[in-house]
Structure 1
Amino acid sequence: MAVETDRLISATPSSVQEEQIERSLRPATLAEYVGQDKIRAQLEIFIQAARGRAEALDHVLLFGPPGLGKTTLAHILAREMGV
């Protein structure tokens, strides 16, 4: 039985252009993030508290099934905290 290599999924983007398009579609700040209002409000409090203490934002666990925006929130947290 032969394996169809053209149907394999790769973790690497197929082109630089695809990666740029994907990044442009993701919100960059919590203000741009749509949906999950409770999570967004809690994260705003966490970020403000960490900034007020001049410390890193530690111990954030984002979990759930695919497609909920966990990776997007992680990118937003990193950007908001200046990482």
Structure 2
Amino acid sequence: MAKINVETPSVVHAETELDEDKRDLSLRPQSLSEFLGQAAMKENLAVFIRAAKERGESLDHLFLIGPPGLGKTT
């Protein structure tokens, strides 16, 4: 009978996760002006956001598409 190799999951320390979270947040844009490219899309999105704020409502649903690594979840 063959032996099954079961790896022990690595232990991640809370401090390490916290440091990584801080670094991730520091790299994320804080405003639309910090996003590069897509000028027309940014202008439209700014209008949508401003209108929702003026109405006192949440922003309508958005559907962002593109390959991985472009910052869609940012």
TM-score normalised to structure 1 length: 0.62
Q: How far did 1:2 drift?
A: 4.4
Unaligned 5+ runs, structure 1:
7-13, 73-83
Q: How many residues align?
A: 66
Aligned positions of 1:1-83 closer than 5 A: 2=5, 15-72=17-74
Rg (Cα) greater in structure = 2
TM-score normalised to structure 2 length: 0.68
Distance 2:8 2:41 in 1: 40
Taking CA–CA contacts closer than 8 Å with sequence separation of 6 or more, which of the two structures ends up with the larger relative contact order? 1
> What percent of counterpart residues are identical?
49
The amino acid of 2:33's aligned partner reads: A
Distance 1:34 1:62 in 2: 16
Aligned-residue Cα RMSD (Å) equals 2.3
Unaligned 5+ runs, structure 2:
10-15
